[in-house]
Amino acid sequence: MEITSGKRQAHELVDRLDESQIGTVVRFLESMIMDPVSRAIATAPVEEEELTDEMRQALDRSEAWFEERGGRGIPMEEVLADFGLTLDDFPLDPEHHGSPS
């Protein structure tokens, strides 16, 4: 594969970078070759919503709920059972329609 003078120059510039700068260059190059939708998502500004008192209280309740249960949530089997489903309804292997082995 022939390396063009532009690519050769880019390689030379990368070779001259300090090791601490390489991560930034890699992320920049990755963003340049992303498809437009992925780039738009990756660079979209983070929207920060002001927490209301109601939201703060809900967060406090949820933290207390998890603390009461030793940091454990509801097992997936219980959540699925509420909807009349089991893990067998969601096989990990699309070719496999029985229970996971």
What pLDDT, in 10s, does the model give residues 21-75?
A: 999 999 888 888 888 888 888 788 888 888 999 999 999 999 999 999 898 889 9
pTM higher than 0.85, yes or no?
no
Q: How many domains does the chain have?
A: 2
Residues 35 and 78 in one domain: no
What proportions of the chain, in percent to the nearest 5, are helix, strand and coil?
Answer: 60, 0, 40
- Do 55 and 101 fall within a single domain? yes
Same domain? 98 vs 83: yes
- Residues 15 and 59 both lie in one domain: no
- Judge if 92 and 59 occupy the same domain: yes
Q: Check: CB of residue 92 under 8 Å from CB of residue 100.
A: yes
| Angle (deg, nearest 10), helices 22-33 and 36-43 | 130
Radius of gyration of the chain from Cα atoms?
25
Could you tell me if 93 and 53 lie in one domain? yes
Residues of the domain holding 18: 5-43
